[in-house]
Amino acid sequence: MSCLMEAKDFIRAQIVEDLAAGKHAKAITRFPPEPNGYLHIGHAKSICLNFGLASDYNGRCHLRFDDTNPETEDVEYVESIKADVRWLGFDWNEHLYFASDYFQQLYDWAIYLIKNNKAYVCSLNEDELRQYRGDFTTPGKESPYRNRSIEENLDLFNRMKLGEFAEGQHVLRAKIDMKSPNMNMRDPLLYRIRKAHHHRTGDKWCIYPMYDYAHPLSDAIEHVTHSICTLEFQDHRPFYDWCIENLPVPAHPKQYEFARMNMTYLVMSKRKLLQLVKEKYVNGWDDPRMPTISGIRRRGYTPESIHLFAKRIGVAKAESLIDYEILENCVRDHLDTVAYRAMAVLNPVKLVITNLPEGHHEIIESSAHPKKVEYGKRQLPFTKELYIDAADFMENPPEDFFRLAPGKEVRLRNAYVVKCTEIIKDVQGKITEIRCEYDSVTLGGKPTRDGRKVKGIIHWVSANDCIEAEVRVYSRLFSVADPEDTPEGTDFKSHLNPSSLKIIQKAKLEKSLAAASADRRYQFERVGYFCIDIKDSKPNALVFNMTVDLATGH
Ligand code: ATP
Ligand code: MG
């Protein structure tokens, strides 16, 4: 792994080469989200890449909103995107931009193209435009409007801008080559009429630039040097270059493509995520099961773990499908180093120590982190009645069961060895109480009175000196690795995992967790990593989210 991490990817290699050749003084990149949804983990990768390159090569990275589609965009998304980028630890400083800030310049350049006979107003309707465009095997046909005079084009384009025409009545197109094998070069659209209110420019404009036109020019206006996007834009690059070459732009950015990241057990298209939110399959964009940055943040993932992830998966030219576990392992690796340790019993059953007197209340000290002394100590009340997890007891265990069973011994983590002497059941046969005797010499990992080491260790809390909290345990949102692969007539939603959220109303938690805070992470020993739910938790009604379970082997 480490050599992979240190190897320069092709983008870094390009930047190093360009800087060495004196092409640019510094690398200027940008992250250009469209504010039409919340960012997801795929965007996080792109953010880490763009901002990471800027900081590695003494450059800067701009945050630019590509807000050219007024119908689908909203300030709610703008604000969430800013919060997400900041949370990831990046700063655009004063370089916050909006494509809409450039509408006038883009319009002026469209006029420039018309005047140079490189753009024309086309009055084909949508269907005709498609037919004339041809396809991969059929060359396109020239529009009958292609040879309008410059004067007529200027007049029509001005009237488009003034709102004299209906949506779809005219478009502005670049005049390039209808026979080009690259469909993107067959007189692509530059402007279309949209009588929509824009979240920033209001009703000022009723013509809006196409993304493919606005994007290279926005890059140029901002003096971006390396414009990094995902592979599906490779075929758009010739048009990107065409815009740069045919307009008096102040800089000459270059586009580079890397493979979009896909992950198992996830869908990562904003459209699909929006569907999950709108149709209430999840509780909002920040539902902890969502692959959105706001979701994983609420879930307890840390920025550091996302950085580690971006580093581990690297940058590739070929489409890749990343195993979700790689991300989970990054989260575990980081949380292991920062999480406060505590004990919590999610599925409690009572354990009574018969050889302790009523009212026994002993304080056992344990460290809050196995390596970080600065995390201090926690105090564990050890009492006659405890809770252990029902899953740690079996009445008729198989050979390889090393936890508690009738007549067997187990170590209570951080405390003593106990031996099960009796079980009590209710009328339905459900175990209500496990009775044990404890061995008073075994504190602090010491062997038993007769010198034996006890292998199994289980966690516990004091029954009358603990706190109760709600604990939300998540598993994958989709039950199959490729949710998009569905039988005819169904879609990705048919693969939603019906038990992706399990709510435990009254988990029993070690007392130290009463002071749990949202800016800390916790490891519930032997269970997993948890955090306070930033939305629903209240000081006297705590709610915890499970971030990730402990990897096997812990
Ligand atoms: P989606 O397909 O999820 O709607 P998008 O590409 O349309 O995403 P944008 O807001 O345009 O969303 O994306 C902003 C930036 O994030 C783009 O530069 C895009 O290349 C990058 N990006 C989006 N999804 C991924 C991904 N899965 N992996 C890597 N980069 C991504
Ligand atoms: Mg996009």
Which tens digits make up the pLDDT trace of 219-229? 999 999 999 99
Of 148, 161, 173, 270, the active-site residue reads 270
* Number of the ligand 1 atom closest to the C-alpha atom of 260: 28
> Can you tell me the mean pLDDT for 274-302?
97
Around ligand 1, the residues with Cβ closer than 6 Å are: 32-34, 42-43, 45-46, 229-230, 260-261, 268-270
Of 12, 34, 272, 317, the active-site residue reads 34
pLDDT at 8: 82
- CA dist 494 and 275 (Å) reads 13
pLDDT class for 5, splitting at 50, 70, 90? very low
> Can you tell me the mean pLDDT for 493-513?
96
Kindly give the distance from the C-alpha atom of residue 484 to the centroid of ligand 1, in angstroms, as a whole number. 18
pLDDT at 4: 43
> Can you tell me the mean pLDDT for 374-399?
97
* Number of the ligand 1 atom closest to the C-alpha atom of 228: 18
- CA dist 524 and 531 (Å) reads 10
- CA dist 48 and 311 (Å) reads 9
Kindly give the distance from the C-alpha atom of residue 85 to the centroid of ligand 1, in angstroms, as a whole number. 14
Stretch among 68-77, 92-101, 103-112, 497-506 having the lowest mean pLDDT: 68-77
34 is catalytic: yes
Kindly give the distance from the C-alpha atom of residue 200 to the centroid of ligand 1, in angstroms, as a whole number. 22
Q: What percent of the chain is predicted at pLDDT more than 90?
A: 95
* Number of the ligand 1 atom closest to the C-alpha atom of 50: 18
- Best of 30, 34, 41, 46 to mutate for ligand 1, by most ligand atoms within 8 A of CB? 46
pLDDT at 553: 43
Distances (CA, A) of 210 to 99, 159, 182, 225, 534: 11, 18, 18, 22, 39
For residue range 392-443, list pLDDT tens digits in order.
999 999 999 999 999 999 999 999 999 999 999 999 999 999 999 999 999 9
> Can you tell me the mean pLDDT for 275-298?
97
pLDDT class for 554, splitting at 50, 70, 90? very low
Of 194, 260, 317, 350, the active-site residue reads 260
Judge contact between 110 and 191, C-beta under 8 A: yes
pLDDT at 320: 81
Q: Which residues contact 430 (CB under 8 A, 6 or more apart)?
A: none
Which residue has the CA at smallest separation from atom 23 of ligand 1? 43
Judge contact between 36 and 77, C-beta under 8 A: yes
pLDDT class for 549, splitting at 50, 70, 90? very high
> Can you tell me the mean pLDDT for 512-517?
96
Which helix (H) or strand (E) covers residue 421, if one does?
Answer: strand 417-425
260 is catalytic: yes
Whether the predicted pLDDT of 244 surpasses 90: yes
Half-sphere exposure of 102 (CA within 13 A, CB side): 26
Kindly give the distance from the C-alpha atom of residue 268 to the centroid of ligand 1, in angstroms, as a whole number. 9
Distance from chain centroid for Cα 133 = 37
- CA dist 228 and 10 (Å) reads 12
Kindly give the distance from the C-alpha atom of residue 279 to the centroid of ligand 2, in angstroms, as a whole number. 23
312 is catalytic: no
Mean of pLDDT over the chain? 95
Instruction: Please indicate whether residue 489 or residue 279 has the higher confidence score (pLDDT).
Output: 279
Whether the predicted pLDDT of 249 surpasses 70: yes
> Can you tell me the mean pLDDT for 492-514?
96
